[in-house]
Amino acid sequence: MESQWDDNNGEEVDNNYQDFNLSSRSSFTDADPRFAVSPNITQPMRAPAPTPTEITLPTANFFTFPNRRSTLARSRSMSHISSNHLVYLPVSQGAELKCKIIRKKEGQERFFPHYELFIENDDNTLNFLLSARKIVKSKTSFYQISLKRLENLILNEKNLKTGDSGDEDIVDNEIVAKVRSNFVGTQFVVYDNGFNPLRFKDSTIPKDKLRKELTTIIYEQNILGYNGPRKMTILLPAMDDNNERYDTRPTNVLHSETMIERIKNKDRHILVLHNKSPQWSEDNQSFVLNFQGRVTMASVKNFQIIHDNDLDYIVMQFGRVTKESFTMDFKYPLCPVQAFGIALS
């Protein structure tokens, strides 16, 4: 089923990908060569789900398919792993995590909506995974991603009332990531919950306590302006042979260690993805992408993400299902926090 790209009140996210022969290498011992260090950087509708249920994290069953295959890398023995670590683990090679995002716009905060991310099970039930809240008093677009359900999410008073520095000193260990845009909204960075080096440049905070850059999203307006699909570039830390991300933890105030600056210097430890370009359909008089029935409403913000070396492997796809719900499906090397951050951008 193809989804049109006309904008029907679209209010969420963008990018593109396809399908590919997965590597036969072990999901637990060898990294997928497509997402390892690159030698050259240039480069039918489903029935509505019932009311979501909530579970306690972590649990290995929650992150496995019914056939007991691991959904998250290295998750065969996860009983000792904390929930805030689980959401950073990449999806296993050969697996796909199908999710739903529900947006809530209520009362005086309807202009600053909340989002909840759920894993979709094969029986069409939902399990809560993460939530996100847009911070009101911030000079740029800024979200906090939490392990808590929205009704239980109590943000630190400083985070709610401070302006531009609202993301800098989070003490709530349930908050696992932050998404921050530049002033014009063309670049977004997804961080973990470490300390901002700009705030603590004169302190002696250990490097391993500083925040990591998990994802950078760059938007480029196309020649059709806001009436056509946008172009996206996604920067990710590359994966090593043990399915671990290379360190992307800027330590200086000049931003020379950010992923954007590192890719300018052809850093081979940064992975570059793009959205898949939709094709113009004369029949529909719109841009279209094949979402395999997972997207049912047209929007310029529907997208799929791919790697230039393999246009048939869809790393992530996102799209509108109803006015306030969206599907988000993703594969290796993305983890839940990275995918959710891309969607929020």
Question: How far apart are the C-alpha atoms of 259 and 269, rounded to whole Å?
Answer: 9
pLDDT-derived band at 153 (thresholds 50, 70, 90) equals: low
Give the chain's domain count.
1
pLDDT digits (tens, 9 = 90+) for 157-182: 344 444 444 444 444 568 999 999 99
Both tokens of 96, joined, read 């796909």
Phi and psi of 152, rounded to 5°?
Answer: -105, 0
299 falls in which pLDDT band (50, 70, 90)?
A: confident
Highest mean pLDDT among 17-21, 208-212, 244-248, 314-318: 314-318
Q: What is the CATH number of the domain that holds 164?
A: 3.20.90.10
**Of the given ranges (88-97, 175-184, 218-227, 260-269), which has the lowest mean pLDDT?**
218-227
* Model pLDDT, residue 220: 87
Please report which confidence band the pLDDT of residue 98 belongs to, taking 50, 70 and 90 as the band edges.
very high
pLDDT band at 245; cut points 50, 70, 90: very high
Q: Give per-residue pLDDT as tens, 264-290.
A: 888 899 999 999 988 887 887 777 888
Containing structural domain, residue 226 = 2-344
Strands 303-306, 316-322: parallel, antiparallel or unpaired by DSSP? Answer: antiparallel
* Backbone φ and ψ of 183, nearest 5°: -65, -35
Quick: pLDDT tens for 107-136. Answer: 666 677 899 999 999 898 999 999 999 887
Average pLDDT, the chain: 73
Kindly give the residue spans of alpha helices, DSSP state H, lying in the chain.
Answer: 83-86, 157-161, 259-264, 336-344
* pLDDT at res. 32: 52
**The pLDDT of residue 99:** 96
DSSP conformational letter for 72: B
- Do 222 and 231 form a contact (C-beta atoms < 8 A)? yes
For residue 279, what pLDDT is reported? 82
Which residues touch 116 (CB under 8 Å, ≥6 apart)?
52, 101, 102, 104, 128, 130, 131, 132, 149, 150
